[in-house]
Amino acid sequence: MHRDSRAFSLVETLVVVGIVALLSAISFVAFIELSRKEALSGNAAAIATRLRDARARTLASVGGMQHGVLISTTSVTFFRGAVYDPASTTNDIFPLSTYVRASSTLSSIVFERITGNASASGTIELFLASDPLKRKNISVQSSGLVNIE
């Protein structure tokens, strides 16, 4: 019996398919981990930018009002006025990524007109829901300055 040496055997094909499946699984896990880290960094940058924007809007007297930020576990709400009003139609809710959670001793921050000082200073901690040790901290100083650590 003569065998054609140009064809692949079933075992060779299964070995190649297995290797491709293994490499795909490893790549998928690495991609998910990278996506989570990018979500954490992206959410921290977006929140810091919005905090700075709330301060700038207060200093510029946009709408003749103060502006503030309310922090919850899964979202950050930007509001107009000296006090958060959940019924206000001007509230701008920024939902955090499904991978990210927030924790803070600050429930809300309102910026003062003329000085831009923050009503409270402290840290907003963002962390991965799947790995709380991976985190980004956003510090809000009493002067109203915001930094990502």
Q: pLDDT of 66-89, one tens digit each?
A: 999 999 999 999 999 999 999 999
108 assigned to some structural domain: yes
112 assigned to some structural domain: yes
pTM above 0.75, yes or no: yes
Structural domain boundaries, residue 19: 10-148
Give me the CATH number covering residue 126.
Answer: 3.55.40.10
pLDDT on residue 3: 60
pLDDT on residue 29: 87
**Residue 138 burial (CB count, 10 A):** 24
2 assigned to some structural domain: no
pLDDT on residue 1: 54
90 assigned to some structural domain: yes
Domain count, the chain: 1
- Mean pLDDT over 101-117 rounds to 93
Mean pLDDT of all residues belonging to the chain: 92
Q: Write the pLDDT tens digit of every residue in 27-65.
A: 998 898 899 999 999 999 999 999 999 999 999 999 999
105 assigned to some structural domain: yes
DSSP 42-98: HHHHHHHHHHHHHHHHHHTTGGGS-EEEEE-SSEEEEEESSS--TT-TT-EEEEPPT
5 assigned to some structural domain: no
121: pLDDT confidence band, cut at 50, 70 and 90? Answer: very high
